[in-house]
Amino acid sequence: MPKPSSNQGKEPALQVIWTGTISFSLVAIPVQLVRAVEPGRVSFRMLHSRDYSPLVRRMICPKEEKIVPPDEIIRGYEIGPGKYILVTDEELESVSPERSRTIEIVEFIDMKDVDPIYYDHPYYLVPAKGGEKSYRLLVEVLRRTNKAGLAKFVLGEREYLVAVRSMAAALSLITLHYSEETLSDEELAPGEETIKAEETARMKKIISGMAADFDPDPYADERRKKILKLLKKLAKERGLVEAPAAEEEDQEGPADLVAVLEESMRRAKKSR
């Protein structure tokens, strides 16, 4: 199986999205959830046109036109115009206390049985201190059996159904869609029209002539090359601008995989 290409030898900074335990039966392994996807090598950032400082997404109080620090933010469920039920992080964690810090594998499945429609977003689990050996065991056993563990866990406002499998020496965690989220394809099917067997045979012949091994690298390289070529030309023409150094700020906010993802993309670009 082709492996995803490494990112030109540059070590991505591991930003921890979640810390907890993954368990199966009586074995519990302390782990951290980290990202498996980062924006492509060529991506753009929003800048302030006056001082060339990068822009960041922040919550603003419209009354004061000021940035609101994370500890002054609370979730509200709207029950009427301007009327909200406030919900704290602790209350949210109390909804499923057994799942907010534990990924409990309830059963194992064959990866080949999973319809790709269920795959949502990939992450990695990495072992936390003391968990290295049992982590290694789970990776190796999953690899040998080509199985994945199914579990549910809660992060922020959402409960995720996930499949945990091995990928090289790591545990790969993929969030899955719930089956109630998948749409029916019944009414899109082409119906009962029959075609001659030789038409399928002819199609198979064309497909055989185009058979290859899956290698995603050339497609990524081509895309990158095209944009870089233009950027190099532009850089020669007009030169670069420099951003002023900004102070780091505290970013502890309500947990949400999507928000964390945005944040990690920001950092990924920064660390490039």
Partner 1 sequence: MAGRTLWKGTISFGAVDVPVKLHAAVREERISFHLLHRRDRVKLRQQMVCAYEKAPVPPEEQARGFEWEEGKFLLVDPADIERTEPEESRTIEVHQFVKTGQIDPVFLDRLYYLEPEIPLKGYIALLGAMREMDVAGICTWTMRKRSYFGALQAGGKILRLNALRHADEVISAESLDLPDIPLAEKELKIGGDLIAQLTAPFAPQKFENEHQKKLQDLIDKKARGERIAILRPRRLKPTAPDKLLQALEASLKKVA
Site for partner 1 in 34-73 (CB under 8 A): 34-63, 65, 67-68, 72-73
Q: Which of 12, 16, 263, 267 binds partner 1 (CB under 8 A)?
A: 12
Q: Which of 17, 18, 33, 152 binds partner 1 (CB under 8 A)?
A: 152
Q: Quick check: 21 binds partner 1 (CB under 8 A)?
A: yes
Q: Which of 76, 175, 250, 263 binds partner 1 (CB under 8 A)?
A: 76
Radius of gyration for the chain, computed over Cα atoms and rounded to the nearest angstrom: 24
Whole-Å CA distances, 77 to 81, 96, 138: 11, 18, 40
Q: Which of 15, 16, 75, 267 binds partner 1 (CB under 8 A)?
A: 75
Whole-Å CA distances, 143 to 30, 103, 170: 20, 19, 10
Shortest approach of partner 1 to residue 6 CB, angstroms? 5
Q: Quick check: 94 binds partner 1 (CB under 8 A)?
A: yes
Tell which positions 107-136 bind partner 1, by CB under 8 A: 107-119, 122, 124, 126-127, 130-136
Q: Residues 53, 244: contact at Cβ < 8 Å?
A: yes
Shortest approach of partner 1 to residue 59 CB, angstroms? 4
Q: Residues 21, 104: contact at Cβ < 8 Å?
A: no
Tell which positions 157-176 bind partner 1, by CB under 8 A: 157-159, 161, 167-170, 172, 174, 176
Give the span between the Cα atoms of 216 and 95, in whole angstroms.
42
Q: Quick check: 81 binds partner 1 (CB under 8 A)?
A: no
Sign, CA dihedral 116-154-101-69, equals positive
Shortest approach of partner 1 to residue 270 CB, angstroms? 7
Give the span between the Cα atoms of 202 and 143, in whole angstroms.
38
Q: Quick check: 193 binds partner 1 (CB under 8 A)?
A: yes
Shortest approach of partner 1 to residue 259 CB, angstroms? 10
Q: Residues 99, 20: contact at Cβ < 8 Å?
A: no
Whole-Å CA distances, 239 to 55, 232, 270: 21, 10, 20
Q: If DSSP codes are grouped into helix, strand and coil, which group holds residue 149? A: strand
Shortest approach of partner 1 to residue 19 CB, angstroms? 10
Shortest approach of partner 1 to residue 260 CB, angstroms? 15
State the DSSP H helix or E strand holding residue 265, giving kind and residue range, or none if neither.
Answer: helix 257-270
Tell which positions 209-248 bind partner 1, by CB under 8 A: 209-214, 216-217, 219-220, 223-224, 226-227, 230-231, 234-235, 238, 240-246
